[in-house]
Amino acid sequence: MMMQKPLPLSLFAIVIFFFSPLLAFAQPATLTGTVKDASTGEALIGASVLVQGTRFGASVKANGTFEISGIAAGTYKVIARYVGYQPQILEVTLSEGGTAQLDFKLRESVRVIDEVVVTASKGRAEKKLDAPVTIETADIQAMRQSASPSPLGAVAKLKGIDFVERGINTVDITSRGLNTQFNTRMLTLIDGRLATLPGLGLPQFMLAPNPASDLAAVEIVVGPAAALYGPNAHAGVVNMLTKNPFDYAGVDLTVRGGTQSLYDINLRYADYAGNFGWKITGQWMDANQFESGNIFMFVPPAYIGQNQTLLNPETPTGLRISRATLDNFFDLGYAYRETEVSAMRAGLRKLDGGLYYRTDDVNLRFMAGFSSSTGFVGSNFGVLEANDYQIQYQSLQGNGAFGKLGWFFQVTRTANDAGKSFQLHDRAEWFAREAIRLRSLPGGATLTRDQLLAQVRRDFIDSASATIDQSQLWDSELQLRYDIEGFELVGGFQYRFYNPKGSYLSNNPNLVLANVSNFLSIDITATEIGGYLQVDRRFFDNKLRVTLAARLDDHTYYDPQFSPKLSLGYEIVENQNLRAGFNRAFKVPVILENHLFLFNGAARGNVGGYTVRDGAPDAQGNPTGNIVAVYNPLRPEEVNTFEFGYKGLFERKLFIDFVAYYSRYTNFISPAFQISDGVRTFAYDNRTNRRVGVLEDAQGRPLFPGIAGQLTTYFNYGAAVITGFDLGASYYFTDDLLLEGSISYMTLSNAENPFEAQGIPLLLNAPNWKFKGTVTLRNQLAPGTFLVLHARHIPSYTFRAGRWNGVLNDRTVVDLTVGYEWKDVGVTIQGSVNNLLDNQTPDVLGSPIMRRFFSVQASYAIGSFLNR
């Protein structure tokens, strides 16, 4: 066999000479650097560094440095981000096979005037200062440093917002009045998808599967926003934004403990490899619930004219019943304190995750989550205790661009199961029924209260008072964006399908349905279809911004609704803008307002209308007497609003935000009111001309005890005007010292109330004035320290909704948070006091009184494991 000769050295040198340019071209570049706090020089461990327009990125290591390799030569923009800091973008040119260094110095984001928002123009990023609507924001730092048990407590500081704590872990967010125990005038979203309970129609807020540690920001559009967001964006939009794994990679562990035996653990892990990212987040929270002082009574109907009465110290009922009468009710087993019918616990169990894929042109993400919650939820008829109330969702979303054409889509399924939930007043009624049964037995008349409670059939009570809710919602949207010759166009199509099933609805699966005279509807599904288009154009060297938008929505039960919008924004000088606009919005009655069915029909939705007469039904349930009032079927509520606003920044220190509004409401939907008492007045179903308040069989015979003719329901008022203003100011003494304050005022006038003669008032159900102030200090007590002191004052006002009727006294709440950040090790420790002055007025009638609350929180964060 012939041996091959080695390649001559001269030939090898020639090959290397000719191919060396190609070998050099194949050598990638490397980027190194540091990310530090601009004020203290501390390394920001875990900060993310991304090369824009590529898949390359890294997290800052424990020594404060980062390294990104494998980048092709060229000029790039590189962005560094860290929670609570303003992002910084630097430009770098990388040579073939070379190494370049960038040193980032980030400033803490106390200056919210530099914020960028996405909710104002439905997905388009823009500076908050330039937004064509009034928009309020709470960022990660604000939520983490909130003294409230809920991270959404940060929203309480925001201008123009009505914030209600209904317990340790449940909140409510509204604006611009006409509040009830059941607020549905603000559309609630999470990452742009609908986040309401499919059957109840209430916002999910803290019951949602998304744990607290995965929240990146909350953006709230204050005022009508139906032209882009559709029905029920009537008073605004609350959009909770979550963290993606590319910008927020790493591990985040937060542990919180406090009074009321609170412990709250959040754990989040997120990372990415090339184009793929993922995250998984969990939360476990338990606490003892605060008490409200509610007493729930049940007595035979003939005694006081109704079979259930709520008794609260602030209500007229509480003033009307004497102490002796109440003590007698307790002895007989007719009255029960909330602590006797509820375990008074609050809890959250949450698991949420997502898979992400991104390129330069496409972003895709699949997200899913599950939550099980225990806590109090508002009800116009009492208090609903969510007990193992389960919510799950699955969502597929995507966005990107084909050339100049931008696109976005999402499809989401949401389902809920009420678990072991119940209404406290229902449970009290079944306790009382058991007491009546026991007293009818031999020797029962002498039983003491304690003996009664020991002998009641608790398993039977649990079953009889259980709330069933197994509802589903499908929500989808397709949106397109296109810029052409100075016009910015955005248009889209939305489809929603509601499939409710609940024991509080007229398709109650526990009832043997009789006939239509009982107002029991089998199919109560509903569909909403809508399309929208918005056009933005700037004139006069971009000083004048004109925004036109319109939307058309069609609903199963109602005629199409047209929602136009016009906004004019003018930049007087740099960073000072005037804005004027008009919006029309609709609130479509939610499933519950149409199909409610409680108390054997004494509380009903209004899908067919009712007539109230002064004559009792005859023996067959037919009407007698004269007509007192006619209540037509519910129609969508309409509001037409004119706004004028000003935003100004002076010397990057003083920021002023002012908005005044004039809103004319027509056909606005009432809270649940009793329109007939079954004693002097009697209600009849307009579709059948039959009595209500009693469930009948096919022969018209009562199935269960009831009060013939008694009815509590929803209806449309005539018209009213709400005018008001919100004025906010922020002053930045330094980058580390911020003072914020706001004043809000609104009033209801020119009311046209066709039911005033029946004793049904038209109320604002919100305070006329709100006063808020916040001081934020960073690095003032010592480097790394922070202090947030917030105070808000809510003057007294009258509140009436359903069975809640009374006056809320003045409420002043002071919150304090003090903490320290070890940025070089990723550890933060803070202590907080919520309601420092221990004010004992509830946020709303019937809700727990949030007494002084202490908590301590520690968090530990490290950066990406795969991109160091």
Judged against a pLDDT cut of 70, whether residue 402 lies above it is answered with yes
Q: Which residue has the higher pLDDT, 698 or 221?
A: 221
Q: Which distant-in-sequence residues (6+ apart) come within 8 Å of 604 by Cβ? A: 506, 519, 596, 597, 598, 692, 711, 712, 713
Residue with tokens 């930045």: 732
| Average pLDDT of the residues in 617-643 | 88
Q: Which residue has the higher pLDDT, 676 or 529?
A: 529
CA terminus-to-terminus distance, the chain: 54
Conformational region of residue 757, where left means phi above 0, alpha means psi within -120 to 50, and beta covers everything else: alpha
The pLDDT of residue 712: 87
Judged against a pLDDT cut of 60, whether residue 611 lies above it is answered with yes
Judged against a pLDDT cut of 90, whether residue 410 lies above it is answered with yes
Query: Hey, which of 186-200, 316-330, 754-768 has the most confident mean pLDDT?
Result: 186-200
Cβ atoms of 391 and 413 closer than 8 Å: no
- Note the pTM of the prediction, 2 decimals: 0.87
pLDDT class of 9 with cuts at 50, 70, 90: very low
Q: Is 306 exposed, middle or buried (0-12, 13-18, 19+ CB in 10 A)?
A: buried
| Alpha carbons 469 and 590: distance in angstroms, whole number | 15
Cβ atoms of 484 and 365 closer than 8 Å: no
| Alpha carbons 171 and 827: distance in angstroms, whole number | 29
166-170, 322-326, 575-579: segment of lowest average pLDDT: 322-326
Cβ atoms of 369 and 348 closer than 8 Å: no
Cβ atoms of 493 and 434 closer than 8 Å: no
The pLDDT of residue 585: 95
CATH 2.170.130.10 is right for the domain spanning 115-250 = yes
Q: Which residue has the higher pLDDT, 705 or 835?
A: 835
The pLDDT of residue 55: 74
Judged against a pLDDT cut of 50, whether residue 517 lies above it is answered with no
User: If we measure between CA atoms, which residue out of 474, 496, 476 comes closest to residue 398?
Assistant: 476
Residue 589 has a CB neighbour count (10 Å cut-off) of 27
CATH 2.60.40.10 is right for the domain spanning 28-106 = no
| Alpha carbons 504 and 514: distance in angstroms, whole number | 17
Residue 774's DSSP bridge partners are 740, 790
| Alpha carbons 230 and 584: distance in angstroms, whole number | 10
User: If we measure between CA atoms, which residue out of 814, 742, 821, 753 comes closest to residue 781?
Assistant: 821
What's the token pair of residue 186? Answer: 């603000």
User: If we measure between CA atoms, which residue out of 687, 675, 774, 673 comes closest to residue 732?
Assistant: 774
Strand-strand pairing, 48-51 and 74-81? antiparallel
Q: How far is CA 751 from the centre of its chain?
A: 30
Q: Average model confidence (pLDDT) for the chain?
A: 87
83-97, 135-149, 515-529, 843-857: segment of lowest average pLDDT: 515-529
Residue with tokens 């430009």: 91
pLDDT class of 850 with cuts at 50, 70, 90: very high
The pLDDT of residue 111: 58
| Alpha carbons 590 and 203: distance in angstroms, whole number | 12
Cβ atoms of 635 and 545 closer than 8 Å: no
Element (H, E) at 105: strand 99-106
Rounded to a whole number of angstroms, the CA Rg of the chain reads 30
Q: Which residue has the higher pLDDT, 285 or 299?
A: 285
| Alpha carbons 112 and 97: distance in angstroms, whole number | 41
303-307, 390-394, 461-465, 766-770: segment of lowest average pLDDT: 303-307
pLDDT in tens, 479-504: 999 998 889 999 999 999 999 988 88
pLDDT class of 50 with cuts at 50, 70, 90: confident
The pLDDT of residue 302: 41
Judged against a pLDDT cut of 80, whether residue 349 lies above it is answered with yes
Cβ atoms of 199 and 502 closer than 8 Å: yes
Element (H, E) at 434: helix 424-439
| Alpha carbons 161 and 157: distance in angstroms, whole number | 8
pLDDT in tens, 187-204: 999 999 999 999 888 899
Q: Is 743 exposed, middle or buried (0-12, 13-18, 19+ CB in 10 A)?
A: middle
Strand-strand pairing, 276-288 and 262-273? antiparallel
Q: What is the dihedral sign for C-alpha 349, 208, 844, 296?
A: negative
If you write DSSP's letter for every residue of 595-618 in order, what string do you get?
HBEEGGGTEE--SS-EEEEEE---
Q: 19 — phi, psi (to 5°)?
A: -100, -5
- Indicate the DSSP class of residue 843: S
Q: Which residue has the higher pLDDT, 333 or 13?
A: 333
The pLDDT of residue 372: 98
| Alpha carbons 692 and 320: distance in angstroms, whole number | 28
Q: Which distant-in-sequence residues (6+ apart) come within 8 Å of 536 by Cβ? A: 121, 487, 488, 489, 490, 545, 546, 547
Q: Which residue has the higher pLDDT, 313 or 251?
A: 251
Q: Which distant-in-sequence residues (6+ apart) come within 8 Å of 274 by Cβ? A: 55
pLDDT class of 703 with cuts at 50, 70, 90: low
What's the token pair of residue 375? Answer: 């806590």
What's the token pair of residue 505? Answer: 């609805």
Q: What is the 3-state secondary structure (H, E, C) of 489-515?
A: EEEEEEEEEEECCECCECCCCCCCCCC
pLDDT class of 295 with cuts at 50, 70, 90: confident
| Average pLDDT of the residues in 412-439 | 91
Element (H, E) at 431: helix 424-439
pLDDT in tens, 26-48: 588 899 999 988 877 888 887 88
The pLDDT of residue 297: 78
Strand-strand pairing, 99-106 and 29-37? parallel
Judged against a pLDDT cut of 70, whether residue 12 lies above it is answered with no
What's the token pair of residue 820? Answer: 């320290």
Percent of the chain with pLDDT over 70: 90
Cβ atoms of 789 and 781 closer than 8 Å: no
pLDDT class of 512 with cuts at 50, 70, 90: very low
143-157, 186-200, 331-345, 610-624: segment of lowest average pLDDT: 610-624
| Average pLDDT of the residues in 69-79 | 89
| Alpha carbons 214 and 248: distance in angstroms, whole number | 9
The pLDDT of residue 597: 85
Element (H, E) at 190: strand 186-190
| Alpha carbons 534 and 37: distance in angstroms, whole number | 41
The pLDDT of residue 11: 44
- Collapsed DSSP state (helix, strand, coil) of residue 339: helix
Residue 528's DSSP bridge partners are 496, 555
Q: What is the 3-state secondary structure (H, E, C) of 741-782?
A: EEEEEEEEEEEECCCHHHCCCCCCCCCCEEEEEEEEEECCCC
| Alpha carbons 808 and 811: distance in angstroms, whole number | 8
Judged against a pLDDT cut of 60, whether residue 303 lies above it is answered with no
Judged against a pLDDT cut of 90, whether residue 270 lies above it is answered with yes
Strand-strand pairing, 544-555 and 382-402? unpaired
| Alpha carbons 158 and 405: distance in angstroms, whole number | 36
Judged against a pLDDT cut of 90, whether residue 647 lies above it is answered with yes
pLDDT in tens, 427-439: 888 898 899 899 9
Q: Name residue 277's amino acid.
A: G
Judged against a pLDDT cut of 50, whether residue 4 lies above it is answered with no
| Alpha carbons 396 and 695: distance in angstroms, whole number | 44
| Alpha carbons 720 and 709: distance in angstroms, whole number | 30
The pLDDT of residue 695: 64
What's the token pair of residue 637? Answer: 């509520």
Cβ atoms of 395 and 193 closer than 8 Å: yes
Cβ atoms of 676 and 683 closer than 8 Å: yes
Residue ranges of the domains in the chain?
28-106, 115-250, 292-343+422-466
Cβ atoms of 693 and 685 closer than 8 Å: no
Q: Which residue has the higher pLDDT, 692 or 174?
A: 174
Residue 125 has a CB neighbour count (10 Å cut-off) of 9
| Alpha carbons 692 and 713: distance in angstroms, whole number | 11
Judged against a pLDDT cut of 50, whether residue 306 lies above it is answered with no
Distances (CA, A) of 139 to 44, 214, 726, 810: 18, 12, 21, 29
| Alpha carbons 62 and 868: distance in angstroms, whole number | 10
Element (H, E) at 282: strand 276-288
